[in-house]
Amino acid sequence: MNINPATVPEAFLTLSADELNDRIREVKAKLGKRLLILGHHYMTDEVIAHADERGDSFALAKIAAQTDAGFIVFCGVHFMAETADIVTTATQKVFIPDPGAGCFLADCARIRDVEDAWQEIKSITLQSIIPITYVNSGADMKAFCGDNGGLVCTSSNAAAALKWAFERGEKVIFFPDQHLGRNTAFAMGIPLEEIILWNTDEPLGGNAPAAVQRARVILWDGFCIVHQEFNVDYIEKLRQNDPQINIIVHPECDFDVAQAADYMGSTAYIIKMIEEAPAGSHWAVATERNLVNRLKSAYPEKRIEILQSFEPYCKSMAQITLTNLFYQLDQLDSGNLINQIVVEEQYAESARTALNRMLELTQ
Ligand code: 13P
Ligand code: SF4
């Protein structure tokens, strides 16, 4: 990982939103097709307005793998920019307006702990184990999966990734999001008794050897703080007030929340379901507020609300602002390649293997 963080100078901090918008448009026009701005759905309205392409992490990874643009500016979090760097060619350059925009969930899996757990599991079973890492993870984790016959997945293709893995092995170890792993495996028919949680602080992850032997899915103990804000009590309250309400949740939510919901799926799935819903239908959505509020504005003929009394939001995604986006573009225009994301050579190739296995999945 090569981070070259740049401090936004004072002169940029005092520009108004109108000035920033005008100047971003000017630089974009000047750089033309050499530049591609990618925006994740969790970006604020003002930032996403400048994205050439918007999408969830899977869609943006695919677009990055296909573009010819020399400069890719990623409005999202660090692991997404890393993914873009891995799937692009050596001459294409990927930037993020704030390289400090990390991801709490991605940080839950540290490679040293993962390697220790892998050795421990291997020491007590001869069964074949396929590692899967959610795209919300570092390049070192993706490389680990690539090197050990595994792959990457996103929330859009976790089921396809599990199916791929079970065609090749007897067990899966799923990093770092326990909820995506559990919700997806259970929805595919794997009973909870065959899904165990691995707690890094305890020998054998806190499991009896027989439980590890029996498990078909071993879950890493990671979670997303934003998606932990949704709960079953609130769902019950909404249902009491409106029995017609549709509850739709992202698979990073807790198992009990997913079970209490009517629908569960990726960001792309949530968008599609609401897009296709009839006028007058009522939806409560458990995911990041910027996406929910945008759906609300896009479909005023439907009643859409967030599944909480407050608006959970991702602080890391919010680190990308109109100001640092403009500074990023302005510097690129001057030939000053700040905030470039370069995945370390030792990880790039193996991580690419794991990502390519995902990109080749048919969903
Ligand atoms: P998607 O894979 O749905 O884009 O989600 C990424 C993410 O960070 C969700 O919290
Ligand atoms: Fe990471 Fe959660 Fe933010 Fe997504 S919403 S980027 S998983 S912290």
Question: What is the pLDDT of the chain when averaged over all its residues?
Answer: 96
- Between CA 14 and CA 19 the distance in angstroms is 10
Query: Between β-strands 282-286 and 263-264, what pairing exists: parallel, antiparallel or unpaired?
Result: unpaired
- From the CA of 77, which ligand is nearest? 2
What is the reported pLDDT for 86? 95
Report the interhelical angle of 139-147 vs 78-87 (nearest 10°): 50
Q: Name the token pair of 315.
A: 């602080």
Instruction: Evaluate: CB of 154 within 6 angstroms of ligand 1.
Output: yes
What is the reported pLDDT for 1? 44
What is the reported pLDDT for 362? 67
- From the CA of 223, which ligand is nearest? 2
Give, as one character, the DSSP assignment of residue 8.
P
Reply yes or no on whether the pLDDT at 348 is more than 90. yes
Q: Which of 56, 57, 74, 104 to mutate to test the pocket of ligand 2 (most atoms within 8 A of CB)?
A: 104
Q: Which long-range contacts (CB under 8 A, 24 or more apart) does 9-14 make?
A: 9/327, 12/323, 12/326, 12/327, 12/330, 13/323
Q: What is the pTM of this model?
A: 0.95
What is the reported pLDDT for 46? 98
β-sheet bridge partners, residue 262: none
What is the reported pLDDT for 4? 55
Q: Which of 141, 254, 314 to mutate to test the pocket of ligand 2 (most atoms within 8 A of CB)?
A: 314
In order of 138, 145, 151, 152, 285, the CA distances from 148 in angstroms are: 16, 5, 9, 12, 36
Reply yes or no on whether the pLDDT at 363 is more than 90. no
pLDDT in tens, 131-169: 999 999 999 999 999 999 999 999 999 999 999 999 999
pLDDT in tens, 13-72: 999 999 999 999 999 999 999 999 999 999 999 999 999 999 999 899 999 999 999 999
With 0-12 / 13-18 / 19 or more C-beta atoms within 10 angstroms meaning exposed / middle / buried, residue 90 is: exposed
pLDDT in tens, 276-305: 999 999 999 999 999 999 999 999 999 999
What residue type is assigned to position 98 of the chain? D
Reply yes or no on whether the pLDDT at 177 is more than 90. yes
pLDDT in tens, 70-127: 999 999 999 999 999 999 999 999 999 999 999 999 999 999 999 999 999 999 999 9
In order of 239, 247, 256, 258, 311, the CA distances from 236 in angstroms are: 5, 10, 12, 13, 18
Reply yes or no on whether the pLDDT at 5 is more than 90. no
In sequence order, what are the residues at sequence separation of 6 or more whose Cβ sits closer than 8 angstroms to the Cβ of residue 259? Answer: none
Are the C-beta atoms of 83 and 345 separated by less than 8 Å? Answer: no
pLDDT in tens, 229-248: 999 999 999 999 999 999 99
3-class DSSP state of 301 = coil
In sequence order, what are the residues at sequence separation of 6 or more whose Cβ sits closer than 8 angstroms to the Cβ of residue 211? Answer: 196
| Domains within the chain, CATH numbers bracketed | 2-101+316-345 (3.40.50.10800), 106-224 (3.40.50.10800), 231-306 (3.40.50.10800)
Reply yes or no on whether the pLDDT at 3 is more than 80. no
Residues with CB under 6 A from ligand 2: 77, 103-105, 136, 224-226, 288, 314, 316-317
What mean pLDDT comes out for the span 254-279?
A: 97
Reply yes or no on whether the pLDDT at 2 is more than 70. no
Instruction: Evaluate: CB of 137 within 6 angstroms of ligand 1.
Output: no
What is the reported pLDDT for 6? 86
Q: What is the full DSSP assignment across 308-357?
A: SSS----TTGGG--HHHHHHHHHHHHTT--TTB-B--HHHHHHHHHHHHH
- Between CA 276 and CA 26 the distance in angstroms is 36
